[in-house]
């Protein structure tokens, strides 16, 4: 754990805002370390955040998420945008092997001062991703990124969790992986704002494209709802990436017009606040454990003089009094 003085932190925020990559990296490290200095940091960052469009990129292993992320960065840089990339691994508390290949793929952008790349692992102390990712996004946002790409590493339910962190969620599919069917099973159909049929240079891409269009046709949608876009791309060749960005822009326009952007961001803020509050409560309960309050109550319960619900209520009440 890095130790940093308050004066240091006061300095980090303006430096990050000025585009100092090292200051940005140190601020994200504070998030990863769950530093107590974050209170101060977030207070200084919040007034400068809210500008970046947050794009989540998810899909099965090997479908081309990292390749697509890199291709998207190339295209966004061509358009003069400043880009932040967070590679997050919700399923593992360690960053390591899986991210190594991504770093290699990102090498094209490693020296670009207008691209921030960061791998993050949720260390599992607090609310995991729902706690750390919005804070890391806020750092990148306040540092002047126009777009923040969140690429997920690892599989499972986390894909759905990650969708809650983004303004626009891209779900990548590839031909011949049975992905279209898998997507329906895993509930991924519901989270996608844009489907990208990647590896369109391979046979079967058209069938996958039709499959997914067909499934979308079956879903019920009210007037004014977003109809997920489906685009074909070959990220490894940089083909179709402009179409992907076109679909993202269209989605963003819809988000703003329909008021969904505000609602999504409020829901995200609610989850973040809840995660922070739960973390604080857990810490306070932990400190109670060091005192005698919990052991006294436990003795009452074990001795048959108090029921566990009443004991828990007293414990929670004592938290209120302690605040
Ligand atoms: N033919 C073809 N291959 C591609 C394309 N895009 C990516 N690939 C290849 O697919 C493999 C996996 O690509 P990645 O970008 O690492 O996929 P990923 O989804 O990030 O993989 P994980 O992070 O392991 O889940 C690599 O060998 C890429 O070169 C494409 O458009 N066409
Ligand atoms: Mg990857």
Instruction: Evaluate: CB of 76 within 6 angstroms of ligand 1.
Output: no
Torsion-angle region of residue 65: left (phi > 0), alpha (psi -120 to 50) or beta?
Answer: alpha
> Which pLDDT does position 100 carry in this prediction?
47
| Look-up of token digits 């997050």 | 88
155 lines ligand 1 (CB under 6 A): no
Q: Residue ranges of the alpha helices (H) in the chain?
A: 6-17, 21-32, 38-45, 65-78, 97-105, 129-142, 158-163, 179-185, 188-191, 205-218, 241-258, 260-290, 293-302, 308-322
Handedness of CA 179, 180, 186, 189 (dihedral sign): positive
Give all strands of the β-sheet with 115-121 in edge-to-edge order: 115-121, 83-89, 147-152, 53-59, 168-173, 194-197, 229-232
Q: Is there a contact between 174 and 199 (Cβ–Cβ < 8 Å)? A: yes
Q: What span, in angstroms and rounded, lies between the C-alpha atoms of 86 and 95?
A: 12
Contact partners, residue 301, CB within 8 Å, separation at least 6: 307, 308, 311
Q: Say which ligand is closest to the CA of 244.
A: 1
Distances (CA, A) of 161 to 6, 61, 309: 34, 16, 32
Tell me what pLDDT residue 139 has: 95
Measured in Å, residue 315 CA sits from the centre of ligand 1 at 52
Contact 120, 86 (CB under 8 A): yes
Q: Which ligand is nearest to the CA of 102?
A: 2
State the ligand closest to the CA atom of 177. 1
- Show the low-confidence residues of the chain (pLDDT under 50): 1-2, 93-98, 100, 125-126
Task: Determine if ligand 1 sits within 6 Å of the CB of residue 175.
Answer: no
Q: What angle do CA 224, 227, 233 make, to 5 degrees?
A: 150
Ligand 2 ion: nearby residues, β-carbon < 5 Å:
65-66, 102
What integer pLDDT is reported at residue 95 of this predicted model? 44
Cβ atoms of 244 and 68 within 8 Å: the answer is yes
- Mutation to probe ligand 1, out of 58, 67, 151 (largest number of atoms < 8 A from CB): 67
The pTM for the full model equals 0.87
Q: What pLDDT is attached to residue 129?
A: 65
Ligand 1 geometric centre to CA of 67 (Å):
6
Spatial distance between the Cα atoms of 283 and 48, rounded to a whole number of angstroms: 29
CA 238 to chain centre: 24
- pLDDT for the residue numbered 312: 93
DSSP 170: E
Ligand 1, atom 10: closest residue by C-alpha: 64
100, 8 in Cβ contact below 8 A? no
Q: What angle do CA 190, 133, 19 make, to 5 degrees?
A: 125
- Per residue in 22-37, pLDDT (tens digit) is 999 999 989 888 888 9
């Amino acid at each position: 754990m890095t130790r940093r003085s308050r004066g240091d932190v006061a300095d980090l925020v303006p430096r990050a805002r000025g585009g100092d990559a090292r200051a940005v990296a140190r601020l994200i490290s504070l998030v990863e370390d769950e530093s107590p200095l974050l209170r101060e940091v977030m207070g200084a960052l919040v007034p400068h955040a809210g500008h970046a469009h947050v794009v989540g990129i998810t899909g099965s292993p090997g479908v081309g998420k990292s390749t697509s992320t890199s291709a998207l960065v190339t295209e966004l840089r061509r358009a003069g945008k400043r880009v932040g990339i967070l590679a997050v691994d919700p399923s593992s508390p360690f960053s390591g092997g899986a991210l190594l290949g991504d770093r290699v793929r990102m090498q094209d952008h490693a020296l670009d001062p207008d691209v921030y790349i960061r791998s993050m692992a949720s260390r599992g102390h607090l609310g995991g991703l729902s706690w750390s990712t919005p804070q890391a996004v806020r750092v990148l946002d306040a540092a002047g990124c126009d777009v923040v790409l969140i690429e997920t590493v690892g599989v499972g339910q986390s894909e759905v969790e990650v969708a809650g962190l983004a303004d626009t969620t891209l779900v990548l599919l590839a031909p011949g992986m049975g992905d279209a069917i898998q997507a329906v099973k895993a509930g991924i159909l519901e989270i996608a704002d844009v489907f990208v049929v990647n590896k369109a240079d391979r046979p079967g891409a058209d069938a996958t494209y039709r499959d997914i269009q067909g499934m979308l046709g079956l879903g019920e949608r009210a007037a004014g709802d977003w109809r997920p876009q489906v685009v074909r791309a070959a990220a490894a060749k940089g083909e179709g990436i402009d179409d992907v960005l076109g679909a993202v822009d269209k989605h963003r326009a819809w988000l703003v017009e329909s008021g969904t952007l505000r609602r999504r961001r409020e829901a995200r803020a609610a989850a973040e606040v809840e995660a922070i509050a739960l973390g604080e409560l857990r810490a306070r309960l932990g400190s109670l454990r060091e005192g005698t309050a919990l052991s006294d109550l436990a003795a009452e319960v074990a001795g048959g003089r108090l029921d566990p619900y009443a004991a828990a209520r007293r414990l929670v009440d004592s938290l209120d009094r302690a605040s």
